[in-house]
Amino acid sequence: MSAVASQVPTREELVERAAALTPILQRNADEAERTRRIPQEDIDALRDAGLFRVTVPRRFGGYEAMVGTKMAVSEALGRSGCGSTAWVTALINICNWMGSLLPEQGQRDIWGENSDALIAGVLNPSSNVSLVGGGYRVSGRWPWASGSWHADWVLVGIIVPDESGEPVDQALAFVPVSDITIEETWFVAGMKGTGSNTIVAEDIVIPKHRTFSVPRAIQGHYATPFLADEPAYRQSFIPMLTLILGGPQIGLGQAALDFVLEKSARRGITYTKFERQADSTGFQLEVAQAALLLDSGRLHMRRAGEDIEAAAMAGGPLDYPTRARVRADTSFGIARIRESIDRLLSAHGASSFADVSPLQRIWRDSSTAGRHAVVDPAVNLEVFGKALVGVPYEQNITPLI
């Protein structure tokens, strides 16, 4: 176990570690885009700082942090302006959190001999599954596995059949990377460096102790036997998986605001008498609106995180209406941050789109990540609206609440 992992740092210490990596992440941001993966220097620095241990159980040298800490770390990394690195760290940490919901033997398989093991994955089921003694025989393809290049394990969604082949459950299954291949399919406009490629499995066997039921997890019934002593693993399933997508966005929004304000003391406004943008009332109004939009997004997601933590500390999952609101809080908050970044690009001027400007990458990364299916504003508003008017969970438009 490394010196970093020998003690559990505070949230403030973890955020300081993340912020200290800003020079490295900024220096390597272009390489991440060019190679479509996070540079190894970044991965090594994140590992050395313990930032992949945020959600790993303390029993395996992790920090067992609650969602607010995880969000704060993602925000600090996003503030570097490298959305890809912030995103991959966030997604690996949430996949590590899901690994911590497995039965004890499943957890030991992952971290028993390698406390630095990293997990990437895809929840959406896409596979052929049959029963085999003690587990499942699986083949399939799972696209968009962020951080796949850097993972030691992957999680994949499977449909669980009964003896006759009829589907009876949906599960997450955890697989060592030696059992799968990665197909390069991630060619996109933003979040280029996330390596969100396709996991491919052909006729592999997954033991049952490396799986857990998704419907049961949604209702707060986890396979881990350590719930009484580990409130981090009582946090509500879908709210956690949704909210963590907002941490990098908050950081990107703050990075954009910081950059525009810093440059405004030295940039003029072309075709006007203003030698400094900062002296223009119009500019001041734009950045004020942008700052408030950013704060609105941050505050919505902070409320969601506080609700998740409070319920977990009290011993149970969030109720259905609050789970629905967390989905809406997240998508509403991310939409506000995207609006904030749009305003900042306009305030800064057309040079925002120059290749040398970090703003164009921030804009592309935020715009791409902000359209993840689980944070679709229209879908999440409908989910929340149905809960508000009393539509039962079973009749809502998705079970992922």
pLDDT in tens, 228-256: 899 999 999 999 999 999 999 999 999 99
- 114-161 pLDDT, tens digit per residue, is 999 999 999 999 879 999 999 999 999 999 999 999 999 999 999 999
Strand 119-125 vs strand 153-161: parallel, antiparallel, or unpaired?
Answer: parallel
Q: Is the pLDDT of residue 3 over 80?
A: no
CB distance 187 to 194 below 8 Å: no
378-394 per-residue burial string, b: 16 or more CB within 10 A, e: under 16? ebbebbbebbeeeeebe
Q: Half-sphere exposure of 332 toward its Cβ, with a 13 Å CA cutoff?
A: 19
Q: Compute the average pLDDT of residues 54-58.
A: 98
Q: How many CB atoms lie within 10 A of CB 233?
A: 19
Furthest C-alpha separation in the chain: 78
Query: How far is residue 132's CA from residue 138's CA, in Å, rounded to a whole number?
Result: 10
CB distance 320 to 219 below 8 Å: no
- 150-208 pLDDT, tens digit per residue, is 999 999 999 999 999 999 999 999 999 999 999 999 999 999 999 999 999 999 999 99
283-315 per-residue burial string, b: 16 or more CB within 10 A, e: under 16? beebbeebbebbbbbbebbbebbebbbebbeee
Question: For the chain, which domains are there?
Answer: 4-115 (1.10.540.10), 119-215 (2.40.110.10), 237-395 (1.20.140.10)
Query: How far is residue 161's CA from residue 170's CA, in Å, rounded to a whole number?
Result: 9
Q: Is the pLDDT of residue 4 over 70?
A: no
Helical packing angle, 281-314 and 246-264, nearest 10°: 150
CB distance 210 to 109 below 8 Å: yes
pTM (two decimals): 0.96
Handedness of CA 285, 289, 292, 294 (dihedral sign): negative
Q: Is the pLDDT of residue 331 over 50?
A: yes
CB distance 224 to 313 below 8 Å: no
Res 7: pLDDT = 85
Q: Compute the average pLDDT of residues 22-27.
A: 98
**Helices assigned H by DSSP within 22-143:** 22-35, 40-48, 67-78, 83-99, 104-111
Res 316: pLDDT = 84
Rg (the chain; Cα; Å)? 21
Q: Which two tokens stand for residue 163?
A: 């003896």
